[in-house]
Chain A
Amino acid sequence: MLKIDNLHAEVGGTQILNGLTLEVNAGEIHAIMGPNGAGKSTLAYVLGGRPGYQVTDGSVSFMGKNLLDMDPHERAALGLFLGFQYPVEIPGVSNVQFLREALNAQRKSRGEEPLSAGDFLKLAREKAALLQMDMDMLKRNVNVGFSGGEKKRAEMVQMGILGPKMAVLDETDSGLDIDALRIVGDGINAMQRAPDKAVLLITHYQRLLEVVKPDFVHVLAKGRIVKTGGADLALTLESEGYEAVAA
């Protein structure tokens, strides 16, 4: 589904990714762990197509297409979802309006009919319930006045509504208390653990991986993957630290 080959990327003239290679197939959940500055968030932004993130070498294909040739909104329409470490506040635009516009823009670019207001609200209500969010919160402006944990839950509601093929979740667990972590983890399992979907979880900690069991764990250091293992690798990292494992 996602094939990253020898990816090099720089931000503001600084080389961050140095030959990252990774393949994620449908039905798989991968975790990427690594110390601060390893390039985890850069990887997420490069996949999402954020302006300012320059790919200098290598390739990324997604659903058989050259991902790097596409604009961010085209990547989303093809089924890529980027969960933000710091979800952005948009004053004056409600979650309901935002998500309906987003979903219908995606459907339009796939040649599908737009979803009616009624059908959309039904879908939104169902996904919000999965994340234990009430509809009143979805009527509020996007992320405005939301706590850190609420923003992350709202991200997962967005994911549920948009129904992507692949979710790249950048530190979705940061800022969550223990209960919220379980709610978010269960949400990911319910929405993305499927034979035709995949997840790339970017995280510092092993906590989320106890709820969302990964099939593969990769260690990212200095812009490349230095070690790959199963779910138990996360435990080793947690007890021994990155330096010992990545060395």
Chain B
Amino acid sequence: MEPALSPTRRDEDWRYSDVEALASLDQDTFENWRDIDVAAGESVCESIVIDAASGTDLRRLRVRIGKGGRCELFAVNAGGRLGRVEIVVRLATGAHFEFGGVTLGGGDTTREFVTRVAHGEPGATSNQTVRSVHWDSGTGNFLGRIDVVRDAQKTNAGQDFKALLLNKGASANAVPQLEIFADDVKCNHGATVGQLDEAARFYMAARGIPPELSQKLLIRAFLADAFLALGDEAERERLLELALDALGERA
């Protein structure tokens, strides 16, 4: 059974979420998990976009990747009072999971990614890159759990989270959780929260670039990291533009 509706902030997975926003969801939506099954040796690449103007958008995905398979998911999480994407991944031998996501939001919105990547067999790799830009009282969260079982030797798993807060009052939370029971693995994670680089902005201004444009260029460069692994250039541009649209006059 999946957890019942109405989690509280006492639940580790909902600690930084806007649980009140869930009231607008019915039980069916809440229990609806979408399955992505990647057969052995196959590869799947998908984009997830949340850009609804209001309300709450919860997406739950269950990904199983067969032997040597590959699944790449890229997400723009920039809509709803609460925009939440949960991804549970199971990797077979030699499989790869790639995730690149951005969260953007102002007002009182919360935008979050919750991933749980299980390396259940040897030699699988996973890489997750999340970039968050928030303003007003907006919140961006990345809760990323990586489980490596005892047999999953030669696992290589990485997680990288960076958040940019455009004003005081905005916040970002990173909760990396690594549970590793194998001894020959590489796992790394990094998380930073910061502001726009003022030295870079002055440098750009000194070359004639007005503040609005330098902010846009810097944010664009910051967000682009999340989609670097996306091979399809047109799709990469589309996702980046969607993300920048969410910034409105800020970029």
B221 near A73 (CB under 8 angstroms)?
A: no
Contacts of A92 in B (CB 8 A): 218, 220-222, 224-225
Contacts of A50 in B (CB 8 A): 202
B218 near A93 (CB under 8 angstroms)?
A: yes
Query: Cα distance A106–B222 when bound, in Å?
Result: 24
B206 near A48 (CB under 8 angstroms)?
A: yes
| B248 part of interface (Cβ distance < 8 Å) | no
Complex partner residue of B208 from A84, A87, A93, A105, CB under 8 angstroms: A105
A106 near B208 (CB under 8 angstroms)?
A: yes
A73 near B218 (CB under 8 angstroms)?
A: no
Check A102/B209 contact, CB under 8 A, given A90-B221, A92-B222.
yes
A98 near B204 (CB under 8 angstroms)?
A: yes
| B249 part of interface (Cβ distance < 8 Å) | no
| B211 part of interface (Cβ distance < 8 Å) | yes
Contact indicator per residue, chain A 100-123, by CB within 8 Å of chain B (1) or not (0): 011101100100000000000000
Q: How far is the CB of A153 from chain B (nearest CB, A)?
A: 16
B208 near A73 (CB under 8 angstroms)?
A: yes
Contacts of A106 in B (CB 8 A): 208
Contacts of B220 in A (CB 8 A): 92
Check A72/B222 contact, CB under 8 A, given A90-B200, A101-B213, A105-B210.
no
A73 near B217 (CB under 8 angstroms)?
A: no
A93 near B206 (CB under 8 angstroms)?
A: no
A93 near B207 (CB under 8 angstroms)?
A: no
A76 near B221 (CB under 8 angstroms)?
A: no
Residue of A nearest to B198 (CB): A51
Binding site for A on B (CB under 8 A): 197-200, 202-211, 213, 217-218, 220-222, 224-225
- Classify the interface of chain B: helix, strand, loop or mixed: helix
B205 near A76 (CB under 8 angstroms)?
A: yes
Complex partner residue of A88 from B203, B208, B209, CB under 8 angstroms: B203
Complex partner residue of B205 from A73, A91, A98, A162, CB under 8 angstroms: A73
B213 near A72 (CB under 8 angstroms)?
A: no
- Classify the interface of chain A: helix, strand, loop or mixed: helix
| A7 part of interface (Cβ distance < 8 Å) | no
Check A102/B207 contact, CB under 8 A, given A90-B218, A93-B218.
yes
Q: How far is the CB of A53 from chain B (nearest CB, A)?
A: 10
Complex partner residue of B203 from A84, A99, A101, A162, CB under 8 angstroms: A84
B207 near A90 (CB under 8 angstroms)?
A: no
What are 27 residue pairs bridging A and B, where the CB atoms are less than 8 Å apart in the complex? A48-B206, A49-B205, A49-B206, A51-B202, A71-B210, A72-B205, A73-B210, A76-B205, A76-B208, A87-B203, A88-B199, A90-B197, A90-B200, A90-B221, A91-B221, A92-B220, A92-B224, A93-B218, A98-B217, A101-B209, A101-B213, A102-B209, A103-B208, A105-B209, A105-B213, A109-B208, A162-B207
Check A71/B205 contact, CB under 8 A, given A88-B199, A90-B218.
yes
Contacts of B206 in A (CB 8 A): 48-49, 72-73, 75-76, 81-82, 84
| A184 part of interface (Cβ distance < 8 Å) | no
Q: How far is the CB of B197 from chain A (nearest CB, A)?
A: 8
A77 near B205 (CB under 8 angstroms)?
A: no
Query: Cα distance A98–B208 when bound, in Å?
Result: 10
Check A72/B202 contact, CB under 8 A, given A90-B218, A101-B217.
yes
A98 near B207 (CB under 8 angstroms)?
A: yes
Residue of B nearest to A88 (CB): B203
A90 near B205 (CB under 8 angstroms)?
A: no
| A172 part of interface (Cβ distance < 8 Å) | no
| A192 part of interface (Cβ distance < 8 Å) | no
Q: How far is the CB of B215 from chain A (nearest CB, A)?
A: 12
Check A102/B202 contact, CB under 8 A, given A93-B217, A93-B221.
no
Residue of A nearest to B219 (CB): A92
Residue of B nearest to A158 (CB): B207
Given contacts A73-B205, A75-B206, A162-B208, 12 further A-B contacts (CB under 8 A): A49-B205, A72-B206, A73-B206, A88-B197, A88-B202, A90-B221, A92-B220, A92-B225, A102-B207, A103-B208, A105-B209, A106-B208
Q: How far is the CB of A152 from chain B (nearest CB, A)?
A: 14
B207 near A88 (CB under 8 angstroms)?
A: no
A90 near B208 (CB under 8 angstroms)?
A: no
Contacts of A109 in B (CB 8 A): 208
Contacts of B197 in A (CB 8 A): 88, 90
Contacts of B213 in A (CB 8 A): 101, 105
Residue of B nearest to A82 (CB): B206
A77 near B203 (CB under 8 angstroms)?
A: no
Contacts of B198 in A (CB 8 A): 51
B202 near A77 (CB under 8 angstroms)?
A: no
